[in-house]
Amino acid sequence: MKETAKLFKALSEEVRLRVLGLLCHGELCVCDLMEVLDLPQSTISRHLSYLANAGWISGERRGVWMYYRFREDGGDLQQEMLAVLSRHLAVLPAVARDHERLAQYLKTRRPCACC
């Protein structure tokens, strides 16, 4: 029961929902999330850590940057919730704007230390 509560509790912050909405596009670097969400690295990292501890995402270090994606080994409840979230988040105005910003950013980004 505690693990289920952790999954739901992790969804209680707008920034975390926006991060999950962006990760529906696939793996992203912290610098990508910083740019799209216009938030400092410390804020992004704090929310990513919370999502990772709750079991939503996993990270992989490449050099000095971390790359995050949805966990592939999540349980049935998590996978079902993810399917529902991805459908419903996509229609929220803030998440739709984030998707547009991500698409524009990925088209124009210059190579950086993380990429």
Distance CA 74, CA 62 (A): 23
pLDDT band at 45 (very low <50, low <70, confident <90, very high): very high
* Contact (CB, 8 A) for 66 and 73: no
How far is it, in rounded angstroms, from Cα 81 to Cα 8? Answer: 9
Write out pLDDT tens, residues 10-41: 999 999 999 999 999 899 999 999 999 999 99
Give the chain's domains with CATH numbers.
2-107 (1.10.10.10)
Which residues make beta-bridge pairs with 58? 69
